[in-house]
Structure 1
Amino acid sequence: MSEKIEDLELRLLLQAIFEQYHYDFRGYSMASIKRRLNQAKTRFACDTFSQLQSRVLHDPEVFTQLLSYLTVQVSELFRDPPYFKAIRDLVIPHLRTYPSLKIWVAGCGDGEEVYSFSILLREEGLDDRVMIYGTDVNPRALQKAEAGIYDLERIPLFTKNHQLAGGKSSLSDYYTAAYGGAVFDKSLRRNVVFSDHSLVTDAVFAECHLVSCRNVLIYFDRGLQNRAIGLMKDALIRRGFLGLGAKETLRFSKHADAFDEFAREARIYQKRSEQ
C-alpha cells in the first residue's frame, strides 16, 4: 500500500472516531499518532487503518481499548524533579498569599502528577486551602487515577524523584504496600477532583492559580497547541502560573505575549497582569 493511501485511511479513521465518539484527535501530530496507531493495528490484528476503522465503529469496546494508544499515559511521581523543585521554591511563596487555591493538572493520565502536587502541597502546609483538578480524555486512566494504586516496582524511582524535588518527608508516609501494589492514602484525594476534559473540544471550567500541562502539547499540531494554550491562559487568574514539559515552550505560540518567563529551565510561565 502506498504511503499516500495509508495517510488517507488514517485521516478517515480519525474523522470516524470524531463523528462516532466525539473524541477529536485530528489536530494531533500525525507522525506521533501514526506510530501509535500502527501499534494498535498489530494489537487488534488489522492489516490496514480501514480495517481498524471498521472495528472501532462497530465495537465500542475496541474504541475504549484504542484510547490507551491515542492518549499517552507514561508518567511518574515527581517526574522531572527540577520542575517540582521550582514549584516548591519559587511558585509556592506566591501561592501562599491566596486564601484559597485552585490547581489544574491537564492531561493527568493515571494521576501521578496529581498525587505529586497533593504531596508537595501537604508538605508546604497548603493542602487545607487547595482544590486540585486532574483532567484527561481517557476514562480508564481517570479510573486508575481515582484508585491511586501503582506497581511497587515503580516506588524506588518515585522515592528518588520526591527527594530530588525537595521532599520534606518520606514518600512511604503516603502509601501502604498491599497485594503487590502501592496504595496511596485516600486523604491525598480529599481535595482532588478527577474529571473528563478535552483540551481539543471543551471550554474553561474553573479559574485557577496554577495550570500544569506537561508533555501533552508535544503531541498536538500548531493549531491545536494554540487552542490549548489559549484555553489555559483563559483559565488562569492574573499573575497565575503555567507549567509545561521539559521539551515544550510558549516561544512559538500566538499567546506568548500573554506570559512572562518565570523559571526558564523549569518551563514555568506567569500570566501578565494586563491579560
Structure 2
Amino acid sequence: MAPSSPNLPNLEVIEVQLLLEGVYRYYGYDFRDYAPSSLMRRIRKIVASEALPTISALQDRLLHDPACLERFLLGLTVNVTSMFRDPSFFLTFREKIVPLLRTYPFIRLWHAGCSTGQEVYAMAILLQEEGLYHRCRLYATDTNELVLQKAKQGIYPIELMQEYTQLYLKAGGRRSFSEYYTAGYGNAIFRASLKENIVFSPHNLATDRSFNEFNVILCRNVLIYFNRTLQQRVQQLFYDSLCSFGILGLGRRESLKLSPYEERYEEIVKGERLYRRLD
C-alpha cells in the first residue's frame, strides 16, 4: 500500500540520504553532514530546476550524467559572498592582527571555503596596503572547482563596484578602490598583481586533511551550513593547522562558544569573531 501523505517528508529524508551517499561513493563529494534543513531546500530547488519528479530521479541522473553533477554542485554549495563583507571585521584585522603579522618573516593565510574569491582579493588588497603582501602566501580553497575557476579569474560584475567601494572605505581602505581593477564589457577585472601570491586549490573540509601550517585561517559564513558533527571536525582541522598563537577568523553568525575548542582560543575583539590560539 502506498504511504499516506503525512509520511511523504520521511520518504524525502530517505531519498536525500541515499542521494548524498551515492554522490559521496561515486564522486567523492561529501555533503552528508551539512545542515539538513538548508540541504533539503537546496536539493528541492535542484530537482525543480532539472524538471524531475523526485529526489530519487535526481540521484539517477547524477550518477549517470557528469554534466548534472556540475549543476548539482553549483546549486548545493553556498556561494553568497562579497568583497569586504562585514567591514568592521576587516578594520579590526587591519588594526589588531596586522601588527601581529609584522613579527613573522613569512605569513601563510588560508581562506577555507573561499567561494568565488571576493574575500581573498579583499585580503590581498588589505595586505598590499599594509606592506605585507610581498611576504605572504594566500591559499584559497573550496569544494566546488567551478567556483574556484571564477575565483582565479578575478572578474566580477561592474555594477557591484559601487557597493564594494563603500565597504572597502568602511574597512579602512586607504586608496581609490578603482585602482585595483580595470573596467571592460560590463565587468571589473582585478589587477594581476593581486593574484601573484594566491594559490587556488580544491579542498573538502568534510573529508580532506590539513595541508600546511598557517598563521591565519579565515572561514567565514561556512560553518553555519554544517551540522554539529562536521563543525567539530572542521574546528579540529583548523586547530591542528594553526601555528602557535595563530589567528582564526569566523563569520558574524559563527562562534567557538560552547565548542570543545572554546578554551583554546581568546577572542581578540568581542563580536568580530577573530580568535587567537592560546598555545
TM-score above 0.5, yes or no = yes
Please tell me whether residue 196 in structure 1 is matched to residue 237 in structure 2: no
RMSD: 0.7
The answer to whether the 8 Å contact 1:136/1:142 transfers is yes
Q: Who is 2:212 aligned against?
A: 206
Equivalent residue letter for 1:37: I
What per-residue deviation string (whole Å, max 9, x for no partner) do you get for residues 151-177 of structure 1? 011111111110000001111011000
Q: Distance in 1 between matches of 2:163 and 2:156?
A: 12
Q: Compare 63-72 and 139-148 and name the one that shifted more.
A: 63-72
What per-residue deviation string (whole Å, max 9, x for no partner) do you get for residues 38-80 of structure 1? 1101111112110110110000110111101111111111011
Please tell me whether residue 138 in structure 1 is matched to residue 122 in structure 2: no
Q: Who is 2:25 aligned against?
A: 19
Q: Sequence identity of aligned pairs in percent?
A: 44
Q: Who is 1:120 aligned against?
A: 126
TM-score of the superposition, structure 2-length normalised? 0.97
What per-residue deviation string (whole Å, max 9, x for no partner) do you get for residues 170-222 of structure 1? 11011000111000001100000000001100010111111000000000000
Q: Give, in angstroms, the shift of residue 252 of structure 1.
A: 2.2
TM-score of the superposition, structure 1-length normalised? 0.98
Match of 1:40 among 17, 24, 46: 46
Unaligned regions of 5+ residues in structure 1, if any? none
The answer to whether the 8 Å contact 1:131/1:191 transfers is yes
Higher-Rg member (1/2): 2
Q: What secondary structure is seen at the aligned counterpart in 2 of 1:193? A: strand
The answer to whether the 8 Å contact 1:135/1:196 transfers is yes
Q: Distance in 2 between matches of 1:147 and 1:186?
A: 9
The answer to whether the 8 Å contact 1:107/1:213 transfers is yes
The count of corresponding residues between Structure 1 and Structure 2 is 273
Q: Distance in 1 between matches of 2:53 and 2:232?
A: 35
Match of 2:273 among 261, 267, 270: 267
Q: Who is 1:68 aligned against?
A: 74
Match of 1:92 among 95, 98, 120: 98
What per-residue deviation string (whole Å, max 9, x for no partner) do you get for residues 98-151 of structure 1? 111000000000000100000000000001100000000001100000000000
Deviation beyond 4 Å, 4+ runs, structure 1:
none
Q: Who is 2:59 aligned against?
A: 53
The answer to whether the 8 Å contact 1:225/1:253 transfers is no
Unaligned regions of 5+ residues in structure 2, if any? none
Please tell me whether residue 28 in structure 1 is matched to residue 34 in structure 2: yes
